Chains A and B, each alone.
Chain A
Amino acid sequence: MTDVATNVAVSISDLRIEVAGSGVDIVDEVNLTIAPGEVLGLVGESGSGKTTVGLAVLGHARRGVKLAYGDVMIGESAMLALGEGALRHARGTLVSYVPQDPSTALNPALRINKQLMEVLEFHDFGGSNAARKARVQEVMSEVLLPSTPEFLRRYPHQLSGGQQQRVGLAMAFACRPSVIVLDEPTTGLDVSTQAHVLTTVRQLCHAHNVAALYVTHDLAVVANLADRVAVMYAGRIIEQGTAKELFFNPAHPYTRHLIAAAPDMETHEMVGLRGRAPAPGRRPKGCSFALRCELATADCMAEFPAEREVAPGRVVRCIKPFEVPQRTDHVAVHSSPIAASATHALMVRDVCASYTGHQVVHNVDLYVDRGECLALVGESGSGKTTLSRSIGGLHREWTGEILLGSERLAPSARDRTTAQRLRIQYVFQNPYSSLQPRRTVGDSVARPLIIGGASKTEAARKVGEMLERVALTAGYANRFPDQLSGGERQRVAIARALVSRPEVLVCDEVTSALDVLVQASIVELLGELRRDLGLAMLFVTHNLPLVASIADQIAVLADGKLVEAGPTDRVLHFPEAEYTKRLIADTPQISDVTS
């Protein structure tokens, strides 16, 4: 290709990455360019190959992965063809990497100062020790961290998550590279820290004219940060374009689904999509999305669509771009709380909870009625998990009253009656650890019934019914959790919680560990079940936009205190508390770009 734009910082052409040894493709036919000062968001769900592409820009492949074919050009350097010494030099001076998890990527045995200085030393930046020290000071202030000797002498574990991530940024920008690859750097950070980090990234990139490749699964972040976006599915880029255009008018059906599934405070609906992306080695000849696509035809299955430019700068790999499927059978359903009764289904009165003597929840009052969903929103450290676990009987150190209907609940689940335990059920965050791996799905789901006194045959029948209810098949009962995907496991966990027909369901961050599309399906499922079974649902989350799609009422918790409560719409659009206002302002959303 001879159109060497002078305005290209990094250019990836026809990149193919394989599993070492077997030749199975992880990523294929990837073409990307980024201009200096531009942020390109590389979006995809887990397993799409996006992290692998990010690492390839540094000429790095993890164990078992081979960079098989293609070019990565940064300026004049062909990253994939460089020798060892040249490659080492390029890493840091030409291109650098900001890791996903700074708590493991920073060496726990070395002080911050050392870790910053050494990247300058490796590349002999500045020519002298004094120059390097000055640079450390400079870059620390750029990322808004103190550059005092005391701070620099700290070890990574003595910093907060946000501070660790900024050190990661500082290390990346230290030698003034022309390209930076950021791999989901705000995972695990709370909303306000995330907002700060993103602002810093944007400022630094623009100030120093650095091209950034931002790898993430979070559409809202990308919408607010990136200039251009590339969407990956099953190892291939299926759409590219400017952020504004792409989010406003998605061309590829998958992109459309992603946007529809993303939580957003303006649009209340979250539409999920069943199925999962084909794993490496199981990718069909034709379009890999065809199996899940409503628009798919025989032509789609025959061969993978070629790249098409549908507008200037807009590239899609689909034979039916911009087509919107007809959705005729959707019925708007109003959620109706069950006729108000005198007592609430769940009532929390003046509860104070502590964690090993340290008080984390202060005098909280709330209640949930049947048929209603209350979202308990807070960032990490707000006490929401301690509170929800106390309600579930999993945490004992609390005072106050928790009432199930008109009955007082004992602090520990063991001290509650069997009936009480079965009337209030809990769904956990991590689907990979909430099911006993050595027990079949059927046995796990049947436990509450067996405890409630049902016979084995009776229990088996109800289990089958419940599995169908959560949109799995009764046949799943004989499988083991290892054989199920994350979304399926979470459905099983929900089935287990609902099989004894509880009145109250506590959902503790149940979608945080799931991909966007799966997350939306689970939220849909929960909404449906709540309506059909008349559940009183307490939905604990840190994700504010998610709340808009599922909850009638919202209670905001900060530092263990209830700062605001009320109907969702009111709180989200007319927040009263300062904390809530800040939280909403710091939360990125797709609608920020498209409205």
Chain B
Amino acid sequence: MSNNWGVLKFIARRLLLGVVTLFIVSLVVFAATQLLPSDPAQAILGRDANAASTAALREKLGLDHTAFYQYTHWLKGMVTGDPGDSFNARQPILDYIGDRVVNSLFLLFLASVISIPLSLWLGGYCARKRDTTFDNVVSNAMLAVASLPEFVVGIILVLLLSVRVWHVLPAVSTIGIGQGPWSDMRGMILPTAVLVIGAVPYISRVVRASMIEVLESDYIEMARLKGAPESVVLRRHALPNALGPVFQVIALNIAYFAAGVIVVEALFNYPGIGGALRDAVRVRDIPVIQFLVMVLATVYVVTNLAADVATVLVTPRLRTRMQ
């Protein structure tokens, strides 16, 4: 059907845009790391290293080649799954980081699975109970919490639940190397809670606003004037129209986590990519920085793409416009 062809073209175009964006990001990231004021080889070996070993390291790291060569070499590695070695750990990045990526993804997954349904329900419920006491109290509370930076939320939770007031939850995660993150579920509680508490207030407010706009629309009034039972009004008339913005919101959610993960992992000593990134920045471990940044950027871009496509699929008006 001509419908589908148009949608496919849209998806293809959007995909292309995403790839181009990532490409440009990779250029920027690489260029930024090329602008080092000092020599990375020297930085690694220390000031007192002799010239020979510095030169040897330079050659090993490929620093003597042109920028263009270095970039393409790096890009090829990234895309084929061999991002090279970490400067600092002197081992292949994937060995070094692999576990941590899994740990972070698990944390993200847990947080998303809780926060997305929670935000949707809370936002929808507050929209229906608009201007009642419940809505007012919840909205104000959400506003306050949404303003707080995640690490502050984290510290407050630690102060309350871990260290000062009650002592129920561990303040530090104890996942060992080689074990899966699920080995210390108690240690997961606080980091997950911080991420969820960071995301839900903001996102539920967006959902609430979107729902209210839908509930105030003419077609909802018309449905009621046709004699529709309230449940049908919500399910058949309101929901499909509220979905579009919701996908954007879910993408926002995940994007939020991609950023929040850094601070949260630092706070709880959680062995994930956030912590790895922070450590890498500290010691200027360039390949690791480049790798992690590209991973996070890819997550960001892919979720936004998915959200845009989902929105179009769900909104008939946009879908048929593609013809």
Contacts and interface: CB of A to CB of B under 8 A. Distances in A.
B225 A97 contact: yes
B315 interface: yes
Interface string B223-254: 11111110010001100110000000000000
A581 interface: no
A60 interface: yes
Interface string A105-131: 111111000000011001100000000
B226 A118 contact: yes
Contact of B226 (A63, A91, A101): A91
Given A104-B217, A104-B218, A108-B316, A60 B228 contact: no
A563 B217 CA distance: 41
B222 A106 contact: yes
A357 B315 CA distance: 28
Given A88-B229, A119-B227, A97 B316 contact: no
A250 interface: no
A437 to B, nearest CB: 23
A171 interface: yes
Interface string A91-107: 11100110101001111
B183 interface: no
A155 B317 CA distance: 8
A64 B133 CA distance: 18
B227 A110 contact: no
Interface in B306-323: 315-317, 320
A436 interface: no
Interface centre among B221, B222, B226 (most CB of A within 10 A): B226
Most A CB within 10 A of own CB, among B217, B225, B236: B225
A155 B320 contact: yes
B109 interface: no
A62 B226 CA distance: 15
Contact of A122 (B216, B217, B227, B241): B227
A277 B219 CA distance: 30
A97 B222 contact: yes
A157 B219 CA distance: 13
A89 interface: yes
Interface in B174-228: 216-219, 221-228
A551 interface: no
A572 interface: no
A197 to B, nearest CB: 18
Interface string A483-498: 0000000000000000
A110 B240 contact: yes
**B223, B229, B232: residue with the most chain A Cβ atoms closer than 10 Å:** B223
A60 B222 contact: no
A158 B320 contact: yes
Nearest to B237: A107
A92 B216 CA distance: 21
B228 A109 contact: no
Contacts of A171: 226
Interface string B150-193: 00000000000000000000000000000000000000000000
Given A155-B316, A157-B317, A107 B241 contact: yes
A58 interface: yes
Contact of A88 (B221, B228, B237, B320): B228
A441 interface: no
Nearest to B223: A107
Contact of A93 (B227, B241, B315): B227
A101 B221 CA distance: 12
B231 to A, nearest CB: 12
A90 interface: yes
Given A97-B222, A155-B317, A108 B241 contact: yes
A88 B218 contact: no
Nearest to A106: B219
- Most B-side CB within 10 Å, residue of A62, A99, A107: A107
Find the residue from B221, B223, B227, B240 having the highest chain A CB count within 10 A. B227
Most chain B CB neighbours (cut-off 10 Å) among A89, A106, A109: A109
B241 A60 contact: no
A110 B237 contact: yes
A62 B215 CA distance: 12
A272 B237 CA distance: 44
A88 B222 CA distance: 12
Interface in B272-323: 315-317, 320
A96 B226 contact: yes
Contacts of A157: 316-317, 320
A333 B271 CA distance: 91
Interface string A501-516: 0000000000000000
A99 B316 contact: no
Given A60-B225, A107-B222, 16 more contacts: A60-B224, A63-B216, A88-B229, A91-B224, A91-B227, A96-B226, A104-B219, A105-B222, A107-B223, A107-B241, A109-B315, A118-B236, A122-B226, A122-B229, A155-B320, A158-B320
26 contacts: A58-B225, A60-B224, A60-B225, A63-B216, A89-B227, A91-B224, A92-B226, A92-B227, A93-B227, A96-B226, A97-B222, A105-B221, A106-B222, A107-B223, A108-B219, A108-B315, A108-B317, A109-B237, A110-B236, A118-B226, A118-B232, A119-B226, A122-B228, A155-B316, A157-B317, A158-B320
